[in-house]
Structure 1
Amino acid sequence: MKNLLFIFTFLLMSCSGSDDNSSTNNGNQNFFNPPSWIQGRWMGFADGINTGMGFKFTSDNWCVITGNSTYCWKEVMEAPGQTATATEQVSDTDYIVTITTSNTTNVYHFRKVSTTQIQILQASGLNPTYTKVN
């Protein structure tokens, strides 16, 4: 539970905008459709050293990497009894995912910096950069 709280705290952002795609848990629904430019594994580096924090995107899922743990949203959305919703906004440079679970809404805004770097844009203005590792 501490790990889950840490992940939500780490990624919690407040944004507004229009929604392009919406998904809810109604069986075999595909909740996430990350664009091809973001698919792969992205890790944070500090002074050239891998921080162990990052993200993994596939064609139908995205995950948060914290050290040796990987937390994937698709599994959360497909959990029995889950009443979560997800919306996505996709462009050539931005991937914005809004996830609502219970009474909590989190917005994750990823921006393409280059073919090998992305940033997660946060309301705080601290926008860490992640490097593609595969």
Structure 2
Amino acid sequence: MILTLTACSSSDDSSSNNQYFNPPSWIQGTWTSEHGQNDFRFTSDDFCYILASYETCYKEGIESGHGAIEAIESITENSYEVGLSGGGTAASWSFIKISNTEIELVNPIEGIPNTLYYKIN
């Protein structure tokens, strides 16, 4: 899922400590939708997208890109936005906390509903 990058401000300068991602504790874990077609996994320092059985973790891509890709985050008590920019392309994801076991992926395209995700571990 590639989305247009929206302007996000980082809650801290993660590039100074080589930690590109800082997902809040409430979103850490693996999440799946009722469709089960694409999942997300968040760790304390990484953001991963899972399509079928193939997982892409973006921390490794940033580290191997030698600064060509930039991570942008915006974190609040009940939302987590993460974006990637570089090489002429951009992608972003915006999640809202519904409960400890449900999050909502906000669809940036008007008229297309948001997607609920459920924590599986």
TM range (shorter): 0.7 to 0.9
TM value normalised by structure 1:
0.78
| CA spacing shift, 1:34–1:17, aligned 2, 3 Å | closer
Verify the 8 A CA contact 2:10 2:75 in the aligned structure 1: no
Gapped regions of structure 2 (runs ≥ 5): none
On the 8 A contact 1:86/1:97 being kept in 2, the answer is yes
Between the aligned partners of 1:53 and 1:16, the Cα distance in structure 2 is 24
Deviations 1:93-113 (A, max 9, x none): 100112112122222111111
1:20 deviation in Å? 3.0
CA distance in 2, matches of 1:71, 1:16: 23
**Gap runs ≥5 in structure 1:** 1-9
Q: Partner residue of 1:13?
A: 4
Give the direction of change, closer, same or farther, for the CA distance of 1:91–1:78 in structure 2 (3 Å limit). same
Identity in percent = 33
| 1:29 paired to 2:14 | no
Say if 1:11 and 1:93 are closer, same or farther in 2 by CA, change over 3 A: farther
Deviations 1:11-63 (A, max 9, x none): 31343344434555x8x7110010000000000114xxxx2421000000010
Which residue of structure 1 lines up, in the alignment, with residue 115 of structure 2?
A: 128
SS of 2:59 mapped into structure 1: helix
3-state DSSP of counterpart to 1:65: strand
Amino acid at match of 2:52: G
With normalisation by structure 2, the TM-score equals: 0.85
Aligned residues: 119
Distance 1:80 1:87, change over 3 A: closer
